[in-house]
Amino acid sequence: MTSTADERGAFEETTVVDTDVHLSIPFDELAEYCEEPYRSITKHPTYTPVHRGGWNRYMGGKIETEKENVRSADALYEKICVEFGIDFPLINAFPVLNSVPEDDRAVELMSAYNDYLLENYLDEYEQFLGLCTVATQDPAAAAEEIDRMGSEQSIEGLYLLNSGAQPPLGDPVYDPIYRAAADNDLHVAYHASAGAPFAKDFPVQDTQFNRFLENHMLAHPWAHMMTMSSLIVNGTPAKFPDLNFSFLEAGVSWVPYMMFRFNKEYSMRRSEAPLLEKSPEEYIRDQFYFSTQPVGEPNDPSHLQQIIDVLGPESLMLSTDYPHWDFDHPDALDRQIRRYGDEETRERILSGTAIEAFDLSI
């Protein structure tokens, strides 16, 4: 099934890939994909099987959610593919496994999320592509799950939550995950959270914030900065040169700072990153990719284009973050690109970079 040209509006002659589409899976449905005792724990939790933090996200009901539009494959297709004009959504189950205190339960939920995604979504529409949930608490079990899921044609990459991961995800303890990703030709995508993993584990300053505004502004880029630093200093991209990595849901404005500051620090302390064979900026440009949402809102819109020019469209991938309350409609980004960029830049960001980064056969 495909959306028609009339339905797709401005995108009728352009392929569009959305690299960050979330599900909202009811826990009683997820429980059916778990074995006991995890099924009962997930279906009848004392509080909730995955703690999400206690911040006021919805401004006393002023901010609406659209989770009902991702509760079935048909509803998701109608919203994302028909209404938004997205050709290929990369769907993740939106697990928040770093807040699960028991490693064995996190591993069980990892497989449950993956089976649920496959059976209820990816098997329903050929345009639906997926990211394999990874529980980083047990790298060996995660590697086995990656091998299991790697043979699924619709699985294009891994989904690693980096908020609250201990140690940070470049530590060599996670090499089995990256080795399995490389063996299965799967992209590695990192996603942050402003929920419980951030509040509980990283950084401690979260408990000192007065409002969710502060939390939500900083949580995602902070987690990605830590992950990027850990990956590069520990030489992960050098050890796995065929792997591509992406950072979802933090926008792109933080990336130039990291590239240039990293170059400065590395130039003075090369011995502390002995596996690197080139500058941090080169690794970032060669193997790292970044999703657009949330698109920044400078007072002068042309400044956003300057950031795009610094990074290059070959590093940037469209994402909506649908159905979250702060999702970006693809038309908004498209208007920005059309206003300041050329058609080649537009096609790159709307699909070309994602096709390259995830090695999509579309």
Q: What is the pTM of this model?
A: 0.92
What contacts 330, CB < 8 A, 6 or more positions away?
Answer: 11, 16, 18, 84, 85, 86, 318, 320, 350
Contact 207/146 with Cβ under 8 angstroms? no
Q: Which residue has the tokens 């352009």?
A: 14
CB atoms within 10 A of CB 40: 11
| Rounded CA separation 122/33 (Å) | 16
The three-state secondary structure class of 70 is helix
Of 248, 227, 99, residue with least CA distance to 164: 99
Q: What is the pLDDT along the chain (362 residues), one digit of tens a residue?
A: 334 434 555 788 899 999 999 999 999 999 999 999 999 999 876 545 555 555 556 566 666 667 677 789 999 999 999 999 999 999 999 998 988 889 999 999 999 999 999 999 999 999 999 999 999 999 999 999 999 999 999 999 999 999 889 999 999 999 999 999 999 999 999 999 876 555 555 555 556 778 888 888 998 999 999 999 999 999 999 999 999 999 999 999 999 999 999 999 999 999 999 999 999 999 999 999 999 999 999 999 999 999 999 999 999 999 999 999 899 999 999 999 999 889 999 999 999 999 999 999 99
Strands 129-133 and 245-248 turn out to be unpaired
Q: Per CATH, the architecture of 17-358 is what?
A: Alpha-Beta Barrel (3.20)
Give the domain ranges of the chain.
17-358
Contact 245/188 with Cβ under 8 angstroms? yes
76-123: per-residue pLDDT in tens?
Answer: 999 999 999 999 999 999 998 988 889 999 999 999 999 999 999 999
Half-sphere exposure of 2 (CA within 13 A, CB side): 8
* Alpha-carbon distances of 3 from 36, 41, 81, 179, 328, rounded to whole Å: 41, 40, 6, 37, 20
Query: Which H/E stretch holds residue 223?
Result: helix 212-233
